[in-house]
Amino acid sequence: MNNWQHFFNNPVDLSEHLKKPYFRFDNRDKEITAISFDEKANLIWSGDSYGCISSYDPTFQLYTRYRGHIGGNSVKDILSHRDGILSISEDSLHFANRRGVTKLNLTSIDIAAFSELNTMCYSPHSLKNNIYCGGDNTNWGIASIDLNRGCLDSLLNYSSKVKLMCSNNKVLSIGRQTGTVDLLDPTSNRTIKSFNAHSASISAMDLRDNTLVTVGKSKRFYNLYADPFVNVYDLRTMRQLPPVSFSKGTTMGSGGADFVQLHPLLPTVMIVASSSGSFDFIDLSNPTLRTQYVHPCQSIKKLCLSPNGDVLGILEADNHLDTWRRSSNNMGMFTNTPEMLAYPDYFNDITSDGPISVDDETYPLSSVGMPYYLDKLLSAWPPVVFKSEGTIPQLTGKSPLPSSGKLKSNLAVISSQNEKLSTQEFPLLRYDRTKYGMRNAIPDYVCLRDIRKQITSGLETSDIQTYTSINKYEVPPAYSRLPLTSGRFGTDNFDFTPFNNTEYSGLDPDVDNHYTNAIIQLYRFIPEMFNFVVGCLKDENFETTLLTDLGYLFDMMERSHGKICSSSNFQASLKSLTDKRQLENSEPQEHLEEYLESLCIRESIEDFNSSESIKRNMPQKFNRFLLSQLIKEEAQTVNHNITLNQCFGLETEIRTECSCDHYDTTVKLLPSLSISGINKTVIKQLNKKSNGQNILPYIEYAMKNVTQKNSICPTCGKTETITQECTVKNLPSVLSLELSLLDTEFSNIRSSKNWLTSEFYGSIIKNKAVLRSTASELKGTSHIFKYELNGYVAKITDNNNETRLVTYVKKYNPKENCFKWLMFNDYLVVEITEEEALKMTYPWKTPEIIIYCDAEELRKPFFSVDTYSINYDILFRDYFANGIRDTARREYKLLTHDEAPKSGTLVAIDAEFVSLQSELCEIDHQGIRSIIRPKRTALARISIIRGEEGELYGVPFVDDYVVNTNHIEDYLTRYSGILPGDLDPEKSTKRLVRRNVVYRKVWLLMQLGCVFVGHGLNNDFKHININVPRNQIRDTAIYFLQGKRYLSLRYLAYVLLGMNIQEGNHDSIEDAHTALILYKKYLHLKEKAIFEKVLNSVYEEGRAHNFKVPETSKG
The number of angstroms, rounded, from the C-alpha of 748 to the middle of its chain's C-alpha atoms is 33
Examine residue 1092 and state whether it is found in any structural domain, yes or no.
Answer: yes
Q: Give the C-alpha separation, 141 to 158, whole Å.
A: 4
Return the SS3 of 218: strand
Nearest to 280 by CA among 266, 294, 268: 294
Q: Give the C-alpha separation, 219 to 920, whole Å.
A: 46
Q: CATH number of the domain at 1011, please.
A: 3.30.420.10
Examine residue 308 and state whether it is found in any structural domain, yes or no.
Answer: no
Highest mean pLDDT range out of 141-155, 252-266, 996-1010? Answer: 996-1010
CA 700, 703, 706, 710: dihedral to nearest 10 degrees? 140
Question: What percent of the chain lies above the pLDDT cut of 90?
Answer: 39
Examine residue 301 and state whether it is found in any structural domain, yes or no.
Answer: no
- Residue 910 labelled as part of a binding site: yes
Residue 772 phi, psi dihedral angles, 5° rounding: -140, 160
What residues does 821 pair with on adjacent strands?
A: 810, 832
- Residue 1020 labelled as part of a binding site: yes
The least confident of 156-165, 562-571, 920-929, 949-958 is 920-929
Examine residue 1033 and state whether it is found in any structural domain, yes or no.
Answer: yes
Examine residue 993 and state whether it is found in any structural domain, yes or no.
Answer: yes
Residue 612, pLDDT above cutoff 50: no
- Residue 878 labelled as part of a binding site: no
Examine residue 929 and state whether it is found in any structural domain, yes or no.
Answer: yes
Examine residue 284 and state whether it is found in any structural domain, yes or no.
Answer: no
Return the SS3 of 352: coil
The whole-number pLDDT of residue 405 equals 45
The least confident of 8-22, 553-567, 753-767, 910-924 is 8-22
Q: Which helix (H) or strand (E) holds 553?
A: helix 545-560
What residues does 772 pair with on adjacent strands?
A: 761
The whole-number pLDDT of residue 337 equals 82
CA 1006, 1010, 1015, 1020: dihedral to nearest 10 degrees? -10
For residue 1088, name the pLDDT band (cuts at 50, 70, 90): very high
Q: What is the per-residue pLDDT across 105-131, written as a single tens digit (0 to 9) for each?
A: 998 888 888 989 999 999 887 778 899
More confident residue, 715 or 729: 729
Examine residue 113 and state whether it is found in any structural domain, yes or no.
Answer: no
Q: What is the per-residue pLDDT across 639-656, written as a single tens digit (0 to 9) for each?
A: 888 899 999 999 999 888
Q: Give the C-alpha separation, 951 to 893, whole Å.
A: 12
Q: Give the C-alpha separation, 706 to 725, whole Å.
A: 4
Q: Give the residue ranges of DSSP H helices in 977-1105.
A: 995-1008, 1017-1024, 1036-1039, 1049-1052, 1068-1088, 1091-1104
Domain tally, the chain:
1
Q: What is the per-residue pLDDT across 210-239, written as a single tens digit (0 to 9) for each?
A: 999 999 998 887 788 899 999 999 999 899
Q: Give the C-alpha separation, 513 to 700, whole Å.
A: 32
Supply the range of the domain harboring residue 968: 872-1104
- Residue 146 labelled as part of a binding site: no
DSSP 881: P
Quote the pTM value: 0.61
Residue 365, pLDDT above cutoff 80: no
Q: How much helix, strand and coil, in percent to the nearest 5, is found in the chain?
A: 25, 30, 45
The least confident of 353-357, 719-723, 781-785, 1035-1039 is 353-357
